[in-house]
Amino acid sequence: MRTIQAKKINKGITNGSHGAEQISVKRIAYLEDDEIHGAYLSNWLARRQISCEVFKSCTDFKEAITKTQYDLVLLDWELSGGVSGLDMLEFIRSTLSVELPVVFVSSKNTRDAVLTAISQGANDYITKPVHRSELLSRICNLTDQNEVGHTTRCCEPYLIDRTLCHIYLNGKTISLTPREYRLALTLFDNAGKTLSHEQLLTAVGGECTLKPYSEIEYLLHKLKKKLKFSLYSNWHVDKIGEIGFRLLADGQ
């Protein structure tokens, strides 16, 4: 487990690769008053076949969001003109009849800011500088929840088959116990998020004969060996102090 120092690129976006090729989201609305940051992120998403329309004006954003069908919204917190992303979140939740996924992309990295956004209706929260692979993973996670027939997911070099409960590495099935499979699935489904020992233990299920911390450490050790993280993978698991663990792609 290791800690990676992020490299800043173009106003708060850091590089990173991600293998999730089956992306159901096609159109994103992004409210961002930093034109350089918005344009850079929009251009990168376009290369992933995702249309990202960037709005600097809250008025233009509100008009577009009520007239155009988007798959997901990205919101900056601190906007010009005395308006905040929270105001726009309230507008979305009170105006639209559909449950549109909303993700905050903000330089406010306090715990209170995250809790406030989530409690007021945001689906997720990403702090700047934005890791592109993390953003793509979060987008996939949110939109996959609404895809009824979505049973496979590519996280290069792995292919996850939810129907057969198998994970493949370079076309070969990896032999995993049920608990190891559930742990791997939970980590990949929540890539970029910090998961506590208790959350991971709940996800894997079964009786715990050790303390939650030791139990998850033991399962992670076995899982990383079977997934061959150190040999073939561009993924790694970070230990987040005494809180828990986080799966990230290399470059994050």
pLDDT digits (tens, 9 = 90+) for 178-188: 889 999 999 98
Q: What is the pLDDT of residues 92-149, one digit of tens each?
A: 999 987 788 999 999 988 878 888 888 888 888 888 888 777 788 778 777 655 543 4
* pTM tops 0.75, yes or no: no
Q: In terms of residue numbers, what domain contains 196?
A: 152-249
Residue 164 lies in a domain: yes
CATH of the domain at 63: 3.40.50.2300
Query: Mean of the per-residue pLDDT values for the chain?
Result: 80
Domain boundary among 85, 114, 144: 144
CATH of the domain at 197: 1.10.10.10
Task: Give dist(CA 132, CA 251) in Å, integer.
Answer: 10
Domain boundary among 119, 144, 169: 144
Residues 6+ apart with CB under 8 A from 155: 18, 19, 20, 188, 191, 235
Domain boundary among 144, 177, 209: 144
Query: If we measure between CA atoms, which residue out of 18, 11, 49, 10 comes closest to residue 250?
Result: 18
Residue 8 lies in a domain: no
Report how many domains make up the chain: 2
